[in-house]
Structure 1
Amino acid sequence: MGGDIVTLCLAGDVMLGRGVDQILPHPGEPSLPEAYVTDARTYVELAEAANGTIPRPAAFSWPWGEALAALDAAAPDARILNLETSVTQSDDIAPGKSVHYRMHPANLPCLAAARPDVCSLANNHVLDYGRRGLAETLDSLAAAGLRAAGAGRDLDEARRPVVVSLPGHRRVLVFSLGMASSGIPHTWAATADRSGIDFSDEASHAAAAEVVGRIRRVKRPGDLVVVSIHWGSNWGYAVPRDQIRFAHALVDGGADAVHGHSSHHPRPVEVYRGHPVLYGCGDLIDDYEGIGGNEQYRDDLRLLYFVSLEPDTGRLDHARLVPLQAHQMRLRHAARKDAEWLHGVLARTSRTFGTHITLDPEGTLMVHPPQPGAPGRTQRDPITS
């Protein structure tokens, strides 16, 4: 841990199923219950048609590419990502869904290559292959020494935060929850006697109060709390008012960072009362390369978020956003012109929140805490039902 500052890596959606699973050393059953693509290897072929041949089998580290060196260079105190893939060989296909993600458990070394401290599981793909698939996912992650938040064999387990110990008896507590707005079926909610995820039907006052209550019961002096939320639509930069109010309520109640995800591209960043709110981190790893549509969002461009917090207050010292690009199902550093494009979009869409984002000479986006008296939503913004 560098100095007294605590640095967290908050990564977006890591989708290691489907096409990504097929290039790894132990590809699972490729058949898919999709309307248009019935073989996961088709997604590999689309990527190769766009950008060239992908090695098969690829090394477990292949999908991460140059992101691994970026992670090591930043040396974050905790690495937190949204694992949007079931880890199973189950064939219990979830009904009523158009897209299903699973990776073979033997390919978990790919996930382990990034050395995540916490995998958020409260999302709209972790039960794509049923509760039997969820059980295997939980068991597989545990056997690999990977800790998961947001899903469990019952509601208590799904709501239990993962605790990351830091030097000096400090801790990072990570809560994970998913909302219906991201496409999570209501039936996936965990209950006292049923496995599932920590699910909220909407970003309501009552839902925020429940999470705040849990934070206050477990947070100790010196702790930092991250709430990881899967919410919202896949495309677009607008942030619904209820999500803003929900995030503010969490910070007012003791959360130090809000880690939002679900959109396939980065969404605005806010610094509310000194605390970072990432409304959508975008995809980090997926198999969308070569798929047409929504090109205006440049979903080939990805960001790694390194958020540095003051240890005693949890307030933002600074944040570094490292631009990457998916190419041949592998992450590489984005070119300068692409980093400039990302900066222009994120700076413009975050400006309404009073957030100031700059681009440094190395092509890294820098998020700066607002100066005293700067405009933006810095006052209490209570939720209304």
Structure 2
Amino acid sequence: MYQQGVDVLMRDEGFDNVGSTATNVADGFTIVAVGDLMVRRPVTKNRTAGFGPIAEILRDADATFGNLETNIFDIRAFTGSPQAEHGGSYHVGPPELGPDLKAMGFNVLARANNHSFDWGVEGMRETSRVLDQNGIIHAGVGDNLAQAGAARYLETARGRVALVSFAATFTPMSRACDQAGEAPGRPGLAALRLANSIVVSPEMIQDLKRIRDALPDSMPGREDQDQVVLAGATYKTGDQVKYSFRADPRDAADILRNVRQGKQFSDFLIATNHGHEPGNWSQELPDYEQSFAHALIDAGADAYVGHGPHQLRGIEIYKGRPIFYSLGNFIFDNLQTVEGADYFDEFGMNPKVDTVADLLVEAMKEFPGAVYYESIITVSRFEQNQLAELRLYPVELGYSKRLANRGVPCLAPMPQAEAILRRLQKLSKPFGTEITIENGVGVIRLNTVGTNSRDDAAGSHVCAAD
């Protein structure tokens, strides 16, 4: 589906190596990648939470990446407002998050996600200001589509790192667009629109056709024989009942071009996608994603990082480059004291009677079970421009703790760490990925060049007791 576009993007332009997709970093280059950062408070000063050993891992990399799902501003001075659309709660944290994220070790963050515009353009711009002020590179949002989709660059001692951030899950009004004639561009995020259809059996299609034909506004005969559009939903025939997704070819082409250009001006490029499809309940990826991740790597990406469904999905190694289909939640902090009135309305609550904590207790019922509070830190090490080793450090986010203490990661204790890694082994097996478990740490080895620079003793530091 995407190969023709990749072939066009990789055409010879008459300059040596201008279209090269090769990794070009110094030996020992490491990238740490984690999932969603739903962070509402500084965490580095809280020594009782067991975050210290985590921060050591984050700081020990050339590039440390996460997906920022929080707006950052001082609510007392904020001139914007919560929007009529939100990504499922109005995420916001104080300006102190800027230096705290830097202190954790993060130096490159994705911004394109369903919470990017919870607080409108003002929230987006204020968050950008705080990150810029703290020297954290970020990508995925901007004052028009060209800015939102462009690669942003981090200078490291072992090479220049680029980030291209886009979202398959987003609120409709948050999508950026470019200028058209006299009409100005629109601030927003870089979006990958998806056309969703529901695959059903041939017998089900016939039943749906009878329902459609019985409706007063029916216009039968205008559709493919194996497809029905009913009440705005598209159904098509297949062997298994499931959801199916098709990426918008215009968005896909823009993203592939941005990846290609980003790699032309960098030594290592991260392509990152925020998507909840087919749903937060699923440990399997949507049917469009694997082919698109491969196309992104073919176009120049050195790593693909997925996040969004709030739980782990499998890991694939494609052409010697890592693909993380979902890294789950890294910080799933519920310590938020500010919420928009619309969110209270959704749960039939009154902000003059009910507290934000009351509201969040109800909202978090969407994520039942510890699986949403277990994740990994990935450390990818490169030698001779090849991925030599992946190390996977299991973390847990305190599912059993009270609301005010839940959501901050610590290294998982041994029995839990092994259970997390066994689940990840199972999820990664369909991609041909073999993960060994060594002292509570997952290891994927691709070649034997160089030596491991990390002390596994970090695995012995686990969560502090409540």
TM-score by length of 1: 0.77
User: Residue by residue, what CA displacement relative to the aligned partner does 1:311-355 show, whole Å, maximum 9, x if unpaired?
Assistant: 53xx42211111112233432220111111111111011100101
In structure 2, how many angstroms separate the alpha carbons of the residues matched to 1:151 and 1:3? 30
User: Residue by residue, what CA displacement relative to the aligned partner does 1:16-68 show, whole Å, maximum 9, x if unpaired?
Assistant: 13xxx3xx59xxxxxxxxxxxxxxxxxxxxxxxxxxxxxxxx93777744311
Q: Say if 1:159 and 1:242 are closer, same or farther in 2 by CA, change over 3 A.
A: same
Q: Which moved more, 1:223-232 or 1:93-102?
A: 93-102
- State the AA in 2 paired with 1:69: E
Which residue does the alignment assign to 1:302? 375
> Is residue 265 of structure 2 the alignment partner of residue 280 of structure 1?
no
> Is residue 231 of structure 2 the alignment partner of residue 153 of structure 1?
no
In structure 1, how many angstroms separate the alpha carbons of the residues matched to 2:261 and 2:98? 34
Aligned partner (choices 109, 124, 131) of residue 119 of structure 1:
109
Aligned partner (choices 175, 182, 189) of residue 197 of structure 1:
189
SS at match of 1:66: helix
Q: Which consecutive residues of structure 1, in runs of 5 or more, have no partner in the other structure?
A: 26-57, 372-385
In structure 1, how many angstroms separate the alpha carbons of the residues matched to 2:319 and 2:370? 29
In structure 2, how many angstroms separate the alpha carbons of the residues matched to 1:113 and 1:269? 28
User: Residue by residue, what CA displacement relative to the aligned partner does 1:285-334 show, whole Å, maximum 9, x if unpaired?
Assistant: 1125985565455222221111123453xx42211111112233432220
Q: How far off its partner does 1:281 sit?
A: 0.7
Larger of the two Rg values belongs to structure = 2
Q: How far off its partner does 1:110 sit?
A: 2.3
- How many residues in Structure 1 have an aligned counterpart in Structure 2? 324
Q: How far off its partner does 1:107 sit?
A: 3.7
Contact residue 60 and residue 113 of structure 1 kept, 8 A? no
In structure 2, how many angstroms separate the alpha carbons of the residues matched to 1:268 and 1:187? 31
> Is residue 260 of structure 2 the alignment partner of residue 216 of structure 1?
yes
Q: How far off its partner does 1:365 sit?
A: 1.0
In structure 1, how many angstroms separate the alpha carbons of the residues matched to 2:252 and 2:447? 25
User: Residue by residue, what CA displacement relative to the aligned partner does 1:346-375 show, whole Å, maximum 9, x if unpaired?
Assistant: 1011100101011112x111123499xxxx
Which residue does the alignment assign to 1:187? 173
- State the AA in 1 paired with 2:391: R
Which residue does the alignment assign to 2:432? 354
Aligned partner (choices 289, 307, 322) of residue 393 of structure 2:
322
Pairwise mapping of residues 1-385 of structure 1 onto structure 2 (< 5 A)? 4-17=27-40, 21=41, 59=45, 64-72=51-59, 75-88=60-73, 89=75, 90=78, 92-97=81-86, 98-167=88-157, 170-179=159-168, 182=169, 184-192=170-178, 193-202=185-194, 203-220=247-264, 223-232=267-276, 233-287=279-333, 291-292=364-365, 294-296=367-369, 298-310=371-383, 312=385, 315-327=386-398, 328-329=405-406, 330-361=408-439, 363-369=440-446
- State the AA in 2 paired with 1:11: V
In structure 1, how many angstroms separate the alpha carbons of the residues matched to 2:187 and 2:85? 19
- State the AA in 2 paired with 1:318: E
In structure 2, how many angstroms separate the alpha carbons of the residues matched to 1:265 and 1:364? 18
Q: Which moved more, 1:153-162 or 1:287-296?
A: 287-296
- State the AA in 1 paired with 2:395: L
Contact residue 224 and residue 311 of structure 1 kept, 8 A? no
Contact residue 6 and residue 311 of structure 1 kept, 8 A? no
Which residue does the alignment assign to 1:377? none
User: Residue by residue, what CA displacement relative to the aligned partner does 1:239-296 show, whole Å, maximum 9, x if unpaired?
Assistant: 1120111101111221111011112121111111221110001110112598556545
Q: Say if 1:356 and 1:288 are closer, same or farther in 2 by CA, change over 3 A.
A: farther
Q: Which consecutive residues of structure 2, in runs of 5 or more, have no partner in the other structure?
A: 1-24, 179-184, 195-246, 336-360, 399-404, 449-466
Contact residue 12 and residue 81 of structure 1 kept, 8 A? yes
SS at match of 1:280: coil
